[in-house]
Amino acid sequence: GAGVSQTPSNKVTEKGKYVELRCDPISGHTALYWYRQSLGQGPEFLIYFQGTGAADDSGLPNDRFFAVRPEGSVSTLKIQRTERGDSAVYLCASSPEGRDTQYFGPGTRLTVL
């Protein structure tokens, strides 16, 4: 079956611009996670959804970052006024319920010039 997909695979933007990153989880998975991975580091937790609600958003670095999952399936990570330090690979993962194996997508590489 189809795995987690993320679009775009690469995004180049200029400092100060707004970007949206999309995640399509595995069908039927109720839990969805966003992570950010910088070079040489492990994935850094950003936010976790259970259904439509953000169950834990403690990893969002500041109020420029926001994520939604309006219908409990597709999720969008939104970054306002991008900064060069936001450059990283943004990973999305889903799981059947919260405390299960997470299935990761291939990530979106964001480059802020």
Q: Is 1 in the site for another protein (CB under 8 A)?
A: no
Shortest distance (Å) from residue 18 CB to another protein: 25
What would the 3-class secondary structure string for 5-39 be? EEECCEEEECCCCCEEEEEECCCCCCEEEEEEECC
Q: Is 40 in the site for another protein (CB under 8 A)?
A: yes
Q: What's CA 36's distance to the chain center, in Å?
A: 7
Exactly one of 33, 34, 73, 77 binds another protein (CB under 8 A); that residue is 33
User: Pick from 93, 76, 87: which is nearest to 11 by CA?
Assistant: 87
Binding site for another protein (CB under 8 A): 4, 31, 33, 35, 40-45, 48, 50, 55-56, 58-59, 91, 93, 98-99, 101-107
